[in-house]
Structure 1
Amino acid sequence: MDVLPAGVINVLFFGTDSRDPKSLGGNADAIIVAQLSADHQSMTLVSIARDTYVDYAGGGRGKINGSFPAGGTEKLRGTVSNLLGGLPIHYVVQANFTGFINITRWLDGFDVQNQKATSVTVQSTGRRVTFPAGTITLGGTDALIYSRERKTMPLGDLDRAQRHRAVLSGMVSRLKERLAEDPAGFAELLASLYGNVKVTGPLDADALTGLVPAISAVDAGRVTSLMVPIRGFGTVNGASVNLLDEARTAALAAALEQGDVTGYVERYGAGYAPTGG
C-alpha cells in the first residue's frame, strides 16, 4: 500500500554542517526541494544555493542557510515555501554529516553523473581524492567529500548545489537497485535510513514499508535537475551573497505549483549559471 498522499508531493531535504554526531544544529548548507509528480513516476529536484539572499519567514532577511539556526525547521520550511510562491512542503528530511555518511554506507555506495572533474586534499588526513567527469561511484566518506567540495569548481557553491542534486538522484536510483536485489530485506534497510535522519511530516518508521510502491514507480530517467535562479553575486553587510533573479524564480514557482516544470525548462533551460537578469 502506498502511504504517500495522492497528487504532487513536495519534500524539503536539507543537510546541516554539524560535525557533532548527536547534533542536528548548524547551518543548512544543502537545501533541495524534491517534487514527486502526481503519478509518482517522475521527479524534479530544485536546489537553493546556501548564500542565496532571501526574506525569512516571520521577518528578517539573510542567506537562506541562516534561516535554520535563526528559527529551526519550521522557519526554514516557511522560508523555502515563501520563496517558491507558497509551495506546500509536505515532508522535511534532515541529516547531519554522520547521518549522511551512514546512509551512504547502508546503500553500499551509489553512482552519480559528475559534470566537472575535480581533485581535493582532505585536510584532516592529507588524502587526495579525485572525482573524474562521467559516471562515478561514491562510497563511505567520499560521498560527503564530493558533496562539500566547492573551491576547486568555477562556479563555487552553485556547482556544489548541482552536486547535491546529483547525489540525491543517485541515492534514489540506488534505493531502486537495493529493492530489486533484496526485496525481503528492503524494509530493514529503510528503517536504518530512517534512523539516520529527522523526518518532519506524517511518516513514521512503521509506515516505511508503504514507500516501496512509490520508490518502485520513480523512473530514474525522468529526474529534472534545477536551481532557484540567481542573477549574480553581491555583498550585503560585508557578506558575499547570491542575488535572486526574482522574475525567473517566480516563473519556476508557478511551474512547481502546477506540478510540471516542462514549460519552464523549455523556456529557460536547466542551467544554473547566474542569469544576469
Structure 2
Amino acid sequence: MAPVLAAAALLVAACTGGDEPTGPTDADDPVDGTTSLDPAPTTDESDPTTSPPPDEAAATSGPPVGAGLPEGPLTALVVGTDGRGDDPAGRADVVVVAQLSADHDALTLVSVPRDCLVEIPGVGPDKVNAAWALGGAPLLEETVSDLLGGLEIDLVATSDFVVFEDLTRWLGGFEVVNRHASTATDAEGREVVFPEGRIRLEGAEALAYVRQRQGLPLGDLDRAERHRAALLGMTERLAQVRAEDPARLLELLPLLRDGVDLQGDLGLPELLALVEVGSRLGPEGITSLSVPITGFGTTATGASVNLLDEARLAELAAGLREGDLSGYVATYGAGYAPTGG
C-alpha cells in the first residue's frame, strides 16, 4: 500500500497551490505480479524427497502479503499542502482518508473537500482546511476523526506537488481515461491539451491535469474525479513495474522518506510490507469517493463552503469505523455530485 498510499498522497497534494473553493461555479476557489520481494525457496523438482506437494509448497513460499502489518484495517489521513520542503507554511487544500482493508485486498479513498464546513475542536464551525492553518496535522487529524464519528487514524501522510511530479517520472508516466477534453497551462507556462479518452501523463503535464478546475463542467468536482483517474493509472503502472522488475520497488523508499512526512507508528518493516501490498493492488481493488455534500453555500462573511449531508455522512462514517464501505457504496454509489438533500 505504501506506493498506492504515496500515490494518493502525492496525487491529491498535486492539486494544491491554488486558492479556488470547491464550488463548481466559484471563481476563486492489474497486473498482479507473482514475484515476491523475497526470493522464493528453491527445490529440486526431480527429487520427490525435496519437492513439497503443491499445498505445502504454497505454504512455504514466504510470508503472506502484508505480513507484519497491524491487524484490522489500516487508516491513514493524507494531507496535501502547498508548502515546500521543511517549510511548515502552506494550505492543506487536500484532505483524504485512505483505508486499507483488514485482508489487504482493497483500498478505499474518501475525500474531504477543503471547503467542507465542519466543527473544528476548540474553534467552532469553519472550513476543514482551517484546522491545518490553526493547529497543523494534530488539529486536522482530530477534526477529521471527529467528523467521522471518532474514526481511529493510524498514520498521517503529508506531501506537496513537487514530489508528485517526481513520482510520475519514477513511474515513467501513466495512463488515464480522460472524461472531458480541456486545455490547461502547466507550471512552466506551456499550454497543454488533454483530449477526451485514454491519454498518457508525466511530470508537469500530469500536475497540470490533476490541478485543473476551470474549464471542466463541474469544476473542482471533476478535478477530484481526475485525481481518482490518475490514482488508478498510477496503480496500473506500479503493478507493471512490479511485474517487470520487483526489486526496483525498493527505489521508492528514499522518495517516500524524503518527500512524504509520515507521522504514526509504522517503521521500515511496515513500509516494506506496504510497498508489497500496494504493488499487488489493481484498479478493481480501489474504491474512491467523497464525503457527501448537499450543495454549496456562503457564510456570513461571504466565504464559499460545502454543506455536508449529515445523514448520509453518518452512514459513511460508520462504514469506515467498521472497515467496510461496501454497503454504503451499494446503496449510494461512488458518485461525487451534490445530493441536494
Q: TM-score, normalised by structure 1?
A: 0.91
- Structure 2: runs of 5+ lacking an equivalent: 1-62
* % identical aligned pairs: 52
Aligned match of 1:4 = 69
Which deviations, in whole Å up to 9, do the C-alpha atoms of 1:3-60 show, x marking residues without a partner?
4212111111121123x44424311112211111111111111111111111113432
Change in 2 beyond 3 A, CA 1:138/1:64: same
Shift of 1:239: 0.7
- Cα distance in 2, alignment partners of residues 38 and 270 from structure 1: 21
**Superposition pairs of residues 199-238 of structure 1, within 5 angstroms:** 199-205=262-268, 207-236=270-299, 237-238=301-302
**Superposition pairs of residues 8-19 of structure 1, within 5 angstroms:** 8-18=73-83
Aligned match of 2:254 = 191
The letter of the residue matching 2:74 is: I
Aligned match for 2:180, one of 96, 109, 116: 116
- Structure 1: runs of 5+ lacking an equivalent: none
Matched, 1:170 2:199: no
SS at match of 2:237: helix
**Superposition pairs of residues 53-64 of structure 1, within 5 angstroms:** 53-64=117-128
Q: Which runs of 4+ in 1 moved over 6 A?
A: none
Matched, 1:66 2:130: yes
Aligned match of 1:32 = 96
Change in 2 beyond 3 A, CA 1:240/1:8: same
Change in 2 beyond 3 A, CA 1:114/1:79: farther
Aligned match of 2:139 = 75
Shift of 1:205: 4.5
Matched, 1:267 2:334: no
- Cα distance in 1, alignment partners of residues 121 and 237 from structure 2: 35
SS at match of 1:41: coil
Change in 2 beyond 3 A, CA 1:60/1:89: same
Is contact 2:213-2:222 (8 Å) kept? Answer: yes
Matched, 1:104 2:175: no
Is contact 1:40-1:214 (8 Å) kept? Answer: yes
Deviates more, 1:192-201 or 1:231-240: 192-201
Q: What CA RMSD, in Å, does the superposition of the two structures yield over aligned residues?
A: 2.0
Report how many residues are paired: 275
- Cα distance in 2, alignment partners of residues 112 and 263 from structure 1: 27
Shift of 1:221: 1.2
Aligned match of 1:182 = 245
Aligned match of 2:43 = none
Aligned match of 2:40 = none
Q: Relative contact order: is structure 1 or structure 2 higher (C-alpha 8 Å, sep ≥ 6)?
A: 2
Shift of 1:223: 1.3
The letter of the residue matching 1:240 is: S
SS at match of 2:89: coil
